Amino acid sequence: MIKKETKTMKELLAKEKEVSSLPQPGDIVEGKIIKKSNNELILELEPFGTGIVYGAELRENRDMIRDLEIGKKISALVLDSENDDNYIELSLKEANIEKGWSAIRQEEESNKTVSVKIIEANKGGLVIRLSGIIGFLPVSQLSADNYPKVEDGDKNKILQELNKFIGTEMEVKIIGLDKNTDKLVVSEKVCQEKKLHENLSNYKKGDTIEGTVTALTNFGAFVKFDENIEGLIHISELGWQIIDHPNQVIKEKDKVKAQIIDIRNGQVSLSIKALKKDPWEKIKKDFKNEQTVKGKVIKFNPSGAFVEIKKEIYGMIHLSEFSKQNKEMENVLKIGESYNFEIISFIPEAHKMILGIKNI
């Protein structure tokens, strides 16, 4: 009786050792294909036994298994160490995903530039594929050359521009990675930062550059200079006159000179206005507070109306001037008409002239 119990104990220990030596769920194993059908794919997993991939996965991933042949060695991920049919249950799809994440983690750790395929576009950016894993390239992380510079930031127009990249490849770096949330975020812009900072080190605030206008938007003009450096001339820096849209004074492909007025976080701010003489310098002694001046109304905005006093010299009459007298501004003033105004505040150093109603 004791002998029989001892034998049983040995068998149990042997069985436990055998089970513990089997590959565990989540492990990647390699095996040789010994049978292939529409319903199953069987692999010889020496020295563990036999593994199986069931038909449901095969049918869902036909492209993945099309070229698999008897005798070929492949990798698979263990789903179950021993299922009800005494097979080690496997997944090829999950193995590829696991291998993909592993490869991406190595790329992230090495901080290398990688090539990704653009497979889709949306209003927020580009959907990419890297090592079989789907990721995202936000619009904000595109390089200066590929950033969609569209009028009014119209999202539909941005999408039209982004659609041009579908099917192409881009050099990027991984900036966000989290397998648990299936998050993979990449950046094209980061790839160029080192080169950009090297080039920018040759410039400082106050320098004059010469470049080419690459794009116009409602808020300004982009100018490219010195290889891959691109700066922005804000609409307020295009000239001393009031400008409704940059195309009134500048066109794409124009060659322009501009002054660097700021360099911050790799962004370059430019000004054409800074290279021109300040017209307010000439009029310091021409005007004073409470003086009556004649000016032409050129533009309304939510705060009031702009009035041209002289070439490139503008005053502002606030909306509050009309509400005090129970009058509506647009019923009193007409665009293109001239009127007499009173100077309420004149600060030429700040390019500021505040006007009031005078015999209107």
pLDDT at 344 over 90: yes
pLDDT at 338 over 90: yes
How many of the other CB atoms lie within 10 Å of CB of 342?
Answer: 17
Ranges for all domains in the chain classified under CATH 2.40.50.140? 2-96, 111-193, 202-275, 283-357
Q: Is the peptide bond before 148 cis (omega within 30 degrees of 0)?
A: no
The 10s digit of each residue's pLDDT in 286-312 is 999 999 999 999 999 888 999 999 999
**Cβ atoms 330, 319 nearer than 8 A:** no
Which three-class secondary structure state does DSSP give residue 124?
Answer: coil
pLDDT at 228 over 90: no
How many angstroms separate the CA atoms of 94 and 88, rounded?
15
Mean per-residue pLDDT for 85-89?
86
Summary count for the chain: helices (H), strands (E):
8, 20
Mean pLDDT, the chain, integer = 85
- Report pLDDT for 169: 94
- Report pLDDT for 121: 92
- Report pLDDT for 9: 52
pLDDT at 25 over 90: no
Q: Residue 152 — very low, low, confident or very high, per pLDDT cuts 50/70/90? A: low
pLDDT at 27 over 90: no
Backbone angles phi, psi at 283, to 5 degrees: -110, 10
How many angstroms separate the CA atoms of 320 and 163, rounded?
48
Find, among 238, 213, 208, 236, the residue nearest to 223 by Cα. 213
Task: Report domain 111-193's class.
Answer: mainly beta
Amino acid at residue number 64: M
**Cβ atoms 99, 131 nearer than 8 A:** yes
Find, among 232, 300, 317, the residue nearest to 266 by Cα. 232
**Cβ atoms 90, 56 nearer than 8 A:** no
* CATH code that applies to domain 202-275: 2.40.50.140
Q: Which residue has the higher pLDDT, 194 or 250?
A: 250
pLDDT at 266 over 60: yes
**Cβ atoms 310, 276 nearer than 8 A:** no
Q: Which residue has the higher pLDDT, 214 or 272?
A: 272
Find, among 177, 179, 178, 197, the residue nearest to 187 by Cα. 177
- Report pLDDT for 10: 52
The 10s digit of each residue's pLDDT in 155-177 is 888 899 999 999 999 999 999 88
Superfamily of domain covering 2-96: Nucleic acid-binding proteins (2.40.50.140)
- Report pLDDT for 359: 66
pLDDT at 5 over 60: no
Task: Report domain 283-357's class.
Answer: mainly beta
How many angstroms separate the CA atoms of 255 and 261, rounded?
19
The 10s digit of each residue's pLDDT in 238-255 is 999 999 899 999 998 999
**Cβ atoms 90, 100 nearer than 8 A:** no
pLDDT at 276 over 60: yes
The 10s digit of each residue's pLDDT in 100-146 is 888 898 888 888 889 999 999 998 899 998 988 889 999 989 987 88
- Report pLDDT for 96: 75
- Report pLDDT for 196: 78
- Report pLDDT for 19: 47
Which positions ≥6 away from 212 have C-beta within 8 Å?
223, 224, 225, 253, 254, 255, 256
